[in-house]
Amino acid sequence: MYSNKVIEHFMTPRNVGTMVEADGKGTFGDPGCGDSLTIYIKVKDEVIEDISFLVFGCTASVATSSMTTVLAKGKTIEEALEIQEEDIVEALDGLPENKLHCSNLGVQALRSAIKDYLNKKEK
Ligand code: FES
Ligand code: FES
């Protein structure tokens, strides 16, 4: 039921781990299934230089989180804020209908990490 890409990102997720001295950190939990994702970013000249994640969740949430970090890395803050659920799903060659919502974790956690970065910058 999962595409090869989903399985690949589940078996060997990219950019896993916490980050010391992250410039921004964001967590999002899905109240429906209880899964939770934290994303850490390092920003230089408004570009996401480094990104990592920790997730507690299902197979699809691991794959979507991994793909979120792959898509966001090297993008400007502005570009990264435009990443949508569909972009993640498409990059993974699709997700089963009942797992589409898992891609929302990545989008929300990424946006919240960027917000955290922007808030800190203002101070
Ligand atoms: Fe099992 Fe999300 S962790 S459904
Ligand atoms: Fe909810 Fe996977 S089942 S994030």
The answer to whether residue 19 sits within a structural domain is: yes
Is 48 within 8 Å of 117 (Cβ atoms)? Answer: no
Which residue has better confidence, 96 or 1?
96
* pLDDT per residue as tens digits for the range 19-63: 999 999 999 999 899 999 999 999 999 999 999 999 999 999 999
Cβ of 58 less than 6 Å from ligand 1:
yes
CA of 72 to the centre of ligand 1 (A): 24
* pLDDT per residue as tens digits for the range 114-123: 999 999 988 7
Asked if ipTM goes beyond 0.90, one says no
The answer to whether residue 123 sits within a structural domain is: no
The burial class, CB within 10 Å (0-12 / 13-18 / 19+), for 5 is middle
The answer to whether residue 99 sits within a structural domain is: yes
pLDDT number for residue 18: 97
Catalytic residue among 16, 33, 58, 118: 33
Total domain count for the chain? 1
In terms of residue numbers, what domain contains 22?
4-118
**CATH number of the domain residue 80 falls in:** 3.90.1010.10
Find the ligand nearest to 108 CA. 2
Cβ of 23 less than 6 Å from ligand 1:
no
**How many other C-beta atoms can be found within 10 angstroms of the C-beta atom of residue 31?**
6
pTM here? Answer: 0.95
